[in-house]
Chain A
Amino acid sequence: AQKITQTQPGMFVQEKEAVTLDCTYDTSDPSYGLFWYKQPSSGEMIFLIYQGSYDQQNATEGRYSLNFQKARKSANLVISASQLGDSAMYFCAMREAENSGGSNYKLTFGKGTLLTVNP
């Protein structure tokens, strides 16, 4: 079974509007972290936002916010006031066993959503 599911291969949004990118996850671990990364056409992976499973509030970073619904196992990224520079691939990822004290904190990625911002 997929651990991270991003059901939107592509999304379009008008400049200055808000957009929500969907992400659902699957884990039996009570302690995990959820990440969103942006990958522009140049290829680098840019960290956007993080949500811990025990965090009481939804994470926010500037124009990015994470709509965390733990019972539904969803962690949707909301981008407000879209800009042309937001056009990129967006990946949701999960890190399990956040507080286990172990030595491996690998990320599991979804397949990504290609966001296009139209002028």
Chain B
Amino acid sequence: EPEVTQTPSHQVTQMGQEVILRCVPISNHLYFYWYRQILGQKVEFLVSFYNNEISEKSEIFDDQFSVERPDGSNFTLKIRSTKLEDSAMYFCARDSRSNYGYTFGSGTRLTVV
């Protein structure tokens, strides 16, 4: 299957700035997800997006975070005012129900300074 593409691969931002992370999954999949992995730690669920709506969000996904699917293909995660602790690898994923596999994007490494 075609890969899930994430841009940028690495972003450095100043604390307090807004960042937008982008993901291009396959448009005919309905289930999309964002996950976060702080360096050296486990992968944590942030939010699930089904049929163009948020279906579940974790306690990490506070008011600073938002997700959109602005044009039917791109899938974005916005962090409004970044904090140092937002430094992490962010993965988008789609649920390939047909082969029981979850396909992850290549990730965006966010560094907040």
Contacts and interface: CB of A to CB of B under 8 A. Distances in A.
Interface in A74-119: 91, 93, 95, 103-112
A93 B100 CA distance: 13
A44 B107 contact: yes
A111 B42 contact: yes
A103 B95 CA distance: 11
A93 B107 CA distance: 18
B50 to A, nearest CB: 4
Contacts of B35: 107
Interface in A6-49: 33, 35, 37, 43-45, 47
A109 B51 CA distance: 24
B111 to A, nearest CB: 13
A103 B55 contact: yes
A43 B89 CA distance: 8
Contact of B102 (A35, A52, A111, A112): A35
Contacts of A110: 42
Interface of B: 31, 33, 35, 41-45, 48, 50-51, 55-56, 89, 91, 93, 95, 100-104, 106-107, 109
Interface of A: 33, 35, 37, 43-45, 47, 50, 52, 91, 93, 95, 103-112
